Structure 1
Amino acid sequence: MMYSMTGFGRNQTNFAGMDISVEINSVNRRNLEISVSLPREWQLLERDIQALLRGAFARGKLHVSIQAQPAAAESGFHWDEAGLDSSLRRLGEVAKRQGIDWPPGADALVRLAALNKVDVLLPGSDEISVPLMECVKLAAGELKDMRGTEGAALESDLKDRLSALRGGLTTIGEESSSTVPRYREILFQRLGQANLELDLNDERVLREIAIFADKCDISEEQTRLESHFDQFAECLAAGSPIGRKLEFILQEINREFNTIGSKSNNVEISRHVIEAKNEVERIREQIQNIE
């Protein structure tokens, strides 16, 4: 199966009163790059997360975002009750000495509670390891499914474009077969216009035609292109990771079309070469996103 390098995966779990979410997004890159953003308390798990993803993906830039917050039932205001009681008692003593009315109102209590606010403690990395890694695994699976769906669409598109290149090469071959006879005809027309009466079998004429035929012969390029087309198709069938190999094959395909264009002494062949090179460029853009 062929995979693209762009996609998104998400999974969420609950553990020890915490809602934990894992999001992974992926874009194209020549190599595999992984960055992980997670709570400081779980930094020790970053290496395990990267190892899991390296086992699932070959190319692309992956960013993993892991967040944890109290579950709905646990959310809200958290404070140090013992500290709050101590603060109220001491403030009461001060108020009594200063002759200030006591107890305080609701607004003062809220302010005191805010001063005694405590952060919710996250479970340790050892405790969270198993559920968190399972959550990462499921998010990575969703990402891989999305990359596979896009990869299938890319594969279908590339097969159509490869078929177009094969058709273009066939047309170029047909045009090439008439190039030498057309040149021979033009040559004799020009000789006739110059009042040079030469026999069709004159050695000088035959040599001129032979030199021309050799210069514009594209049979070797046609053979190599057919081979490159077959390799490209085999590569598509093999499945990912194939992006780099496709890039190399496409480079060789473009090289052969360039050679045909430089040898061409035929307007129609030149036109078909330009069309083929445009198609090659479209393919190049597509395979930039293949794993």
Structure 2
Amino acid sequence: MKSMTGYGRATSAIEGFSLTIQVSSVNRKTLDLTIGLPDEWESLEPAIGELVRKFASRGKVHVDIEVTGDKSATEATWDEAAAAAALERLRGFAERQGVAFKPTPELLWQVANSQRRASEFPTAEAAQAPVVETLTSALRNFSAMRAREGESLMVDFIRRNEALHRLVETVAARAPQVPANYREQLLKRLREAGLELDLNDERVLREIALFADRCDVTEEITRLRSHFEQFTALLRSDGEIGRKAEFILQEIGREVNTIGSKANDVTIARAVIELKNELERVREQIANVE
């Protein structure tokens, strides 16, 4: 199991430049990938996207590729020939204007700076291999963090699944008593109303039978037990879990709602409320799972 929240970073050098790649993600139902990289490397975007998809199938993932020049690259940007040519043009201009030309250190500095040669930025072709290698390292760190987060979520899910199971078993143990309790309450109300009816009276038996049929939650409990088994097996499986888990939780929610509407009993009603609360917590957490 992997969380959809993660971060990974890796650095390397490329032709006198420093390459830094960061990968981060938050939860999202589908894979929403954005890539920030130098304009000169725009052609690398498809390869970057393909590599990211090997590590992430869900989540809002952002890849940031930053390139900066190091000190040695900056010092190597002087273009002495261009600066000398510019200085010679200034000398000729001054002579044509009848002005004595005596270059000062300040003037030399200004001319040299104006003729700095920008460091040659690596081409996309030259950058592809270093970018892929560095991105792979960043993605491995990113995936490791998501796996660690996933382990914590796994522990929490197992604990909550067990709590859900206990609540359902509470309902299962209480459900057979509901018709008997209803029968006693019915007879009590009839007696209080001055209507003495025999327990074997056909009308009483029919009413109790109809009530027992309406409040029978045997099928719902059976399906819930099956859903819990499926959920536990899914949590322990490899690959994508999130979407399948969301479907199972949706089915669990339907069964719980049905029990709540059918079971006319205070103890079961309380258990249903707790089931819904616990189920909502699981749903919130499963939204963070890939």
TM-score range, shorter chain: over 0.9
Distance 1:262 1:275 in 2: 15
**Native 8 Å contact 2:215 2:262 kept in 1:** yes
Counting only pairs closer than 5 Å after superposition, residues 105-144 of structure 1 correspond to structure 2 as 105-106=105-106, 108-144=107-143
Match of 1:30 in 2: 29
Match of 1:169 in 2: 168
Please state how far the C-alpha of 1:173 moved relative to its aligned partner. 1.8
Distance 2:98 2:205 in 1: 124
Please state how far the C-alpha of 1:64 moved relative to its aligned partner. 1.1
Unpaired stretches in structure 1, ≥5 consecutive residues: none
Between 42-51 and 254-263, the greater mean CA deviation after superposition: 42-51
Match of 2:199 in 1: 200
Match of 1:15 in 2: 14
Please state how far the C-alpha of 1:101 moved relative to its aligned partner. 5.4
Between 85-94 and 214-223, the greater mean CA deviation after superposition: 85-94
Please state how far the C-alpha of 1:110 moved relative to its aligned partner. 3.1
Quick one: which amino acid aligns to residue 166 of structure 2? Answer: G
Distance 2:77 2:263 in 1: 80
Please state how far the C-alpha of 1:116 moved relative to its aligned partner. 1.9
Please state how far the C-alpha of 1:270 moved relative to its aligned partner. 1.1
Distance 2:99 2:180 in 1: 119
Deviations 1:141-178 (A, max 9, x none): 11000110101111111111111100111111222222
Deviations 1:123-146 (A, max 9, x none): 222222222211111111110001
Distance 1:156 1:240 in 2: 18
Please state how far the C-alpha of 1:282 moved relative to its aligned partner. 0.7
Unpaired stretches in structure 2, ≥5 consecutive residues: none
What's the RMSD between the two structures over aligned residues? 1.6
Distance 1:126 1:99 in 2: 51
Match of 1:99 in 2: 99
Distance 1:76 1:200 in 2: 104
Deviations 1:28-64 (A, max 9, x none): 2222222222122222221111111112221112211
**Native 8 Å contact 2:91 2:101 kept in 1:** no
Identity of aligned residues (%): 44
Distance 1:254 1:212 in 2: 24
Quick one: which amino acid aligns to residue 227 of structure 1? Answer: S
Distance 1:195 1:45 in 2: 88
Q: May I ask how many residue pairs the two structures share in their alignment?
A: 289
Length-normalised TM-score, structure 1 = 0.94
Distance 2:75 2:255 in 1: 68
Between 275-284 and 27-36, the greater mean CA deviation after superposition: 27-36
2:56 paired with 1:48: no
SS in 2 for 1:56: coil
Distance 2:159 2:98 in 1: 89
Match of 2:214 in 1: 215
Quick one: which amino acid aligns to residue 91 of structure 1? Answer: L
Match of 2:89 in 1: 90
Distance 1:257 1:111 in 2: 79
SS in 2 for 1:277: helix
